[in-house]
Amino acid sequence: MKKVNVVVVGATGAVGQEILNILDERSFPINNLKLCATSRSAGTEIEFRGQKYVVEETTPDSFTDMDIALFAGGKASLEFGPAAVERGCVVIDNSSNYRMDPEVPLVVPEVNPEDVTWHKGIIANPNCSTIIMVVALKPIHDAAGIKRVVVSTYQAVSGAGKEGIEELTEQVKAVLDGREYPPKKFAHQIAFNLIPHIDVFQDMDYTKEEWKMVKETRKIMHDNNIQVTATTVRVPVYRSHSESINIETERKLTAARAREILAQAPGVIVQDDVANNVYPMPLFTSHRDEVFVGRIREDNTIDNGLNLWVVGDQIRKGAATNAVQIAELLLKYDCLMEKK
Amino acid sequence: MKKVNVVVVGATGAVGQEILNILDERSFPINNLKLCATSRSAGTEIEFRGQKYVVEETTPDSFTDMDIALFAGGKASLEFGPAAVERGCVVIDNSSNYRMDPEVPLVVPEVNPEDVTWHKGIIANPNCSTIIMVVALKPIHDAAGIKRVVVSTYQAVSGAGKEGIEELTEQVKAVLDGREYPPKKFAHQIAFNLIPHIDVFQDMDYTKEEWKMVKETRKIMHDNNIQVTATTVRVPVYRSHSESINIETERKLTAARAREILAQAPGVIVQDDVANNVYPMPLFTSHRDEVFVGRIREDNTIDNGLNLWVVGDQIRKGAATNAVQIAELLLKYDCLMEKK
């Protein structure tokens, strides 16, 4: 297989580190690897496949002779994405900067792999909660046509990066010791609490996270008729986002049939044996690449209703794994860019 | 005001203790107080209004000369409820034993206070998640007619009693220390995890807790046309249940109007100022008697949709406070029983 030159931008963060793990695990065919980050993190040493790399500060020239740039998140892709594209390097961007740009494909490989082929240099990786949801929704949509989704999320603190993880640990210790530990990363105490507020508030008092689940789902599924309403909540769990999803379909799908369809769907593992207390839980789905689906039940309050409980590792499938899968599709469909 | 003789059955448990706190706080007019429990807890000393009481083992004669028996939960009301009624003592029962019995009123004082008047000796206190939900639903139902509710819960460990609280604390410490702490009270580890399973699994793979929210809501609201579908989830929070509620109404209700109606509703506190990060959270609603409602949003995926985030202390309003309020209604409507 052809080997390519890969640059990871934001290599020192939680998602960046996971991208490196996954490139290695999946034996991604790398010729030259470059690790970049902000000046603050430049100089850090990171080992990859037995070799040490020194993290460089990202500059426009970081992308010269590179084929694929994996941007872990944040504002870097706004600043350096166009420079990378100018140099013939395809950008796979985990931030929300370009997701709703009609010129930019928004791709979940299990759902809309072909969309990578029409990229103009940038491909966006969707929001983590959205990725996890659409992997479970796609097979249902294909089988019965989804009209409406009501989703409530239970999102892990690592969605807020390493600082989110540290805040939960230190705050839990403080609470147990009777000490104060004021919130820093989150708006309120997260230890032994729930915060129904992720990202900033926008139109109609929905959060940006909630709107992402509405808008990105339609774009990924190529169906502007799918109605989605979301309530997103931070919970004191380290890793893996969970979602309670109520679905109304055009055509009837029994729970048994939904279970069969989901069991055969790419990237999905069905865990649904309630007689033996088997259902997905974030503690046991972390560090996995699949989306786990359980509590599959018909909802008889409407003609064609289904309830699902869906859990997935939002740092892996919700971010890093999905990005690396997109890179694999670029090779599969042979749609890298010509160097200028 | 007339003073009455009150017996608390299950006085040593979490709900029993809270019933005593609330009888005291609300200055309930008690003449004689008797505290009962199983033989295991008999002999325990409990102080109430500066006086020490020795907990007695419950027997049929515990109810002789008593006016009101507050049963904290479990099987005791099956064993002793009829004996209490025979002796002219009205039973207010926090267990699920009699809730769906057509001869037994199921009462939430903010919703259907008049139902206490037709009791035949037993009045049932609803399920905790249901109480918290219906207090918020009732004013919406009166204003716009509720057709359908999709609810996902986030339930605190104290819903499983003192052992649930201890299990969360000890398991969190163990996880932080890298020690094992196998689950006892819960089916799986609850520390830093979510368990989408509360009470036993029943018809259509819904749990008993989920069916309670469906069936009890209809009975309390006197409306068998209200459609409810529920997914109930245990979360690593000590106290107060939270609920993400999506509502479809007959008539349009704007978010602004819903906010006004809820702000005037009995037993409800609206906390909905997202510009200042104000919304209900379980950490700050515990040890309160009201139900807190926030994140009030129109849901435009249907003609008349609303989303709410509702939080309430399930040991107080979800159990003990509601039971004491029912006792107050018995006095208000003068519907105690004649002694035989």
Say yes or no for a CB contact (<8 Å) between B193 and A281. Answer: yes
Higher pLDDT, A204 or B160: A204
Say yes or no for a CB contact (<8 Å) between A297 and B246. Answer: no
Residue B39 CB-density burial (10 A; 0-12 exposed, 13-18 middle, 19+ buried) = exposed
Which tens digit of pLDDT belongs to each residue from B36-89?
999 999 999 999 999 999 999 999 999 999 999 999 999 999 999 999 999 999
Phi, psi dihedrals of residue B25, rounded to the nearest 5°: -55, -40
What's residue A134's pLDDT?
A: 98
Alpha-carbon gap: A143 to the closest alpha carbon of chain B (Å): 21
Nearest residue in chain A measured CA to CA from B242? A194
What's residue B340's pLDDT?
A: 64
Report how far residue B235's alpha carbon sits from residue B281's, in angstroms, rounded to the nearest whole number.
Answer: 13
Phi, psi dihedrals of residue B249, rounded to the nearest 5°: -110, 165
Q: Are residues A219 and A81 in the same domain?
A: no
Q: Are residues A242 and A307 in the same domain?
A: yes
Residue of B187, B189, B307 lying closest to A229 (CB–CB): B307
Residue of B150, B195, B300 lying closest to A281 (CB–CB): B195
Per the annotation, does B77 bind a ligand? no
What are the chain A neighbours of B169 within 8 Å (beta carbons)? 176
Which tens digit of pLDDT belongs to each residue from A231-256?
999 999 999 999 999 999 999 999 99
- Asked if the structure places residue A243 within a domain, the reply is yes
Q: Are residues A141 and A79 in the same domain?
A: no
Say yes or no for a CB contact (<8 Å) between A201 and B275. Answer: yes
Report how far residue A315's alpha carbon sits from residue B167's, in angstroms, rounded to the nearest whole number.
Answer: 29
Per the annotation, does B158 bind a ligand? yes
What are the chain A neighbours of B193 within 8 Å (beta carbons)? 237, 281-283
Q: Are residues B208 and B259 in the same domain?
A: yes
Flag residues of chain A having pLDDT under 70: 340
Please report which helix (H) or strand (E) contains residue B82, including its range.
Answer: helix B76-86
b/e sequence A6-42, b meaning 16+ C-beta within 10 Å? bbbbbbbbbbbbbbbbbbeeeebebeebbbbbbeebe
Q: Are residues A117 and A150 in the same domain?
A: no
What's residue A143's pLDDT?
A: 98
What's residue A338's pLDDT?
A: 87
Per the annotation, does B99 bind a ligand? yes
Say yes or no for a CB contact (<8 Å) between B197 and A274. Answer: yes
Domain region containing A267: 130-156+194-312
CA trace torsion A75, A78, A84, A87 (10° rounding): -160
**H helices, E strands: number in chain A:** 8, 14
The catalytic residues of B are: 128, 241
pLDDT, chain A, mean: 97
Can you give the CATH number for the domain in which B205 is found? 3.30.360.10
Residue A215 CB-density burial (10 A; 0-12 exposed, 13-18 middle, 19+ buried) = middle
Q: Spell out the residues 6+ positions from residue B178 whose beta carbon is closer than 8 angstroms to its own.
A: none
**DSSP secondary structure string for all residues of A125-141:** PPPHHHHHHHHHHHHHH
Residue B174 CB-density burial (10 A; 0-12 exposed, 13-18 middle, 19+ buried) = middle
Task: Please give the share of chain B, as a percent, with pLDDT higher than 90.
Answer: 97
Across the A:B interface, residue pairs with CB atoms under 8 Å apart total: 158
Say yes or no for a CB contact (<8 Å) between B205 and A279. Answer: no
Residue of A192, A227, A255 lying closest to B301 (CB–CB): A227
What's residue A226's pLDDT?
A: 98
Res B132 pLDDT > 80: yes
Alpha-carbon gap: B80 to the closest alpha carbon of chain A (Å): 32
What's residue B339's pLDDT?
A: 79
Per the annotation, does A159 bind a ligand? yes
Report how far residue B243's alpha carbon sits from residue A255's, in angstroms, rounded to the nearest whole number.
Answer: 24
- Asked if the structure places residue B168 within a domain, the reply is no
Residue of A148, A172, A244 lying closest to B301 (CB–CB): A148
State the average pLDDT over residues B90-118. 98
Q: Are residues B119 and B223 in the same domain?
A: no
Alpha-carbon gap: B28 to the closest alpha carbon of chain A (Å): 32
Active-site residue identified among A128, A222, A287, A335: A128
Alpha-carbon gap: B44 to the closest alpha carbon of chain A (Å): 28
Number of structural domains (chain A) is 2
Taking residue B224's Cβ as centre, other Cβ atoms within 10 Å add up to 9
Report how far residue B219's alpha carbon sits from residue B223's, in angstroms, rounded to the nearest whole number.
Answer: 7
Q: Are residues A73 and A206 in the same domain?
A: no
- Asked if the structure places residue B186 within a domain, the reply is no
Residue of B189, B204, B302 lying closest to A283 (CB–CB): B189
**DSSP secondary structure string for all residues of A8-50:** EETTTSHHHHHHHHHHHHTT--EEEEEEEE-TTTTT-EEEETT
Q: Are residues A205 and A250 in the same domain?
A: yes
Taking residue B117's Cβ as centre, other Cβ atoms within 10 Å add up to 12
What are the chain B neighbours of A169 within 8 Å (beta carbons)? 176
Per the annotation, does B149 bind a ligand? no
Residue of B154, B197, B227 lying closest to A301 (CB–CB): B227
- Asked if the structure places residue B328 within a domain, the reply is yes
Nearest residue in chain A measured CA to CA from B279? A196
Q: Which whole-number Å values give the CA distances from A62 to A68, A81, B200, B298, in the listed order?
A: 11, 11, 57, 47
Say yes or no for a CB contact (<8 Å) between A237 and B193. Answer: yes
What are the chain A neighbours of B309 within 8 Å (beta carbons)? 196, 231, 233
What's residue B16's pLDDT?
A: 95
Alpha-carbon gap: A23 to the closest alpha carbon of chain B (Å): 28
A235, A156 contact by CB (below 8 A): yes
Backbone dihedral region for residue B185 (phi beyond 0: left; psi -120 to 50: alpha; all else: beta): alpha
Per the annotation, does B15 bind a ligand? yes
B134, B267 contact by CB (below 8 A): no
Q: Are residues A228 and A292 in the same domain?
A: yes
Say yes or no for a CB contact (<8 Å) between B246 and A246. Answer: yes
Q: Are residues B147 and B58 in the same domain?
A: no
Q: Are residues B117 and B93 in the same domain?
A: yes
Say yes or no for a CB contact (<8 Å) between B244 and A246. Answer: no
Alpha-carbon gap: A156 to the closest alpha carbon of chain B (Å): 9
What's residue B197's pLDDT?
A: 98
Phi, psi dihedrals of residue A309, rounded to the nearest 5°: -120, 115
- Asked if the structure places residue B277 within a domain, the reply is yes
What are the chain B neighbours of A228 within 8 Å (beta carbons)? 301
- Asked if the structure places residue A175 within a domain, the reply is no
What are the chain B neighbours of A196 within 8 Å (beta carbons)? 242, 244, 279-281, 294-295, 309
Can you give the CATH number for the domain in which B325 is found? 3.40.50.720
Three-state secondary-structure class, residue B49:
coil
- Asked if the structure places residue A166 within a domain, the reply is no
Report how far residue A275's alpha carbon sits from residue A95's, in angstroms, rounded to the nearest whole number.
Answer: 41
A251, A158 contact by CB (below 8 A): no
Alpha-carbon gap: A73 to the closest alpha carbon of chain B (Å): 25
Per the annotation, does A13 bind a ligand? yes
Per the annotation, does A99 bind a ligand? yes
What are the chain B neighbours of A295 within 8 Å (beta carbons)? 196, 205, 231
Which tens digit of pLDDT belongs to each residue from B302-328?
999 999 999 999 999 999 999 999 999
Say yes or no for a CB contact (<8 Å) between B295 and A231. Answer: yes
Q: Establish whether A241 is a catalytic residue.
A: yes
Q: Are residues A13 and A135 in the same domain?
A: no
- Asked if the structure places residue B189 within a domain, the reply is no
Which tens digit of pLDDT belongs to each residue from A157-172?
998 888 999 999 999 9
Which tens digit of pLDDT belongs to each residue from B210-266?
999 999 999 999 999 999 999 999 999 999 999 999 999 999 999 999 999 999 999
**Identity of the amino acid at B323:** A
